[in-house]
Homo-oligomer: A and B are copies of this chain.
């Protein structure tokens, strides 16, 4: 990729004996050009291997036809599905997607956002781990349309996260499910099956204070709320914030009891725990109930199939793109909450 510079629109113009303006008209289907001339130019462009320089184009127009998609990682199939869906959806609208991974690190996330802002992308779909006034201000200053997913950022004027339900205004348009309601409803179904003790596994909550854990917090709150509605003693609700491991299994559920249900804030944890229990010779749901969250598509290969809560990923991806385009168009879309659904699976009695 050394020698021989790239062919520019000027080279092309010269070669065709026309002006750059005419070349531009030919290349961009702009009106006011003789079909014959256009044909000649396009042909020559092909011959010379002309490639539009998008940086220059973007610089000149201020537009990009590019949107940024910022996610944690792709370990979780959840995000992979999202990426697929958003890419497809955006493409249909004539946009490209630049996917960036943050690994849940605020520093990395900011880096990604700066990069996207620097590239003057037309908009960003963001799954953030940040929150707070400073972050919101900075994001606003970037003057880039943003749609949030995963974690909301309630508008500061509304005050803190209110565990007792009150979906208020958002600092940025959000699309996702109502995590509180989703977990609440799922737990109600679980408890209706007779479970009386609940272990709630949510490793990420240990990062509390350090980042935006809105969705996780809401799920926990939803579970607690449902638990108390069933009149069960708070002491029977146990919260664990460690990653799945043998030790954790031992320490916290010494002998699985049939009236205990293990609730995991993510299917990934549920799968790990299921794996551990099975290896240890326990049988689900005989010895223990299990509920995950996300309805990862890989669950269908697992036996017994974990109970979980479905998030309509495809609709979510489509909606995110639609909302972002709206926002790019100058309107401010309302936050959108999609329907969730509990899926019983085979790990509940």
Contacts and interface: CB of A to CB of B under 8 A. Distances in A.
A278 B303 CA distance: 10
A143 interface: yes
A120 B80 contact: no
A298 B298 contact: yes
A181 to B, nearest CB: 28
A207 interface: no
A83 B101 contact: yes
Number of copies: 2
A114 interface: yes
Contacts of A143: 1, 4, 6
B330 A301 contact: no
Interface stretch (A49-57, A169-177, A257-265): A49-57
A34 interface: no
Contacts of A167: none
Nearest to A117: B51
B141 A55 contact: no
Contacts of A275: 300-301
Contacts of A6: 120, 143
Contacts of A298: 298, 301
A300 B275 CA distance: 8
6 contacts: A54-B55, A56-B59, A77-B80, A87-B100, A97-B100, A298-B298
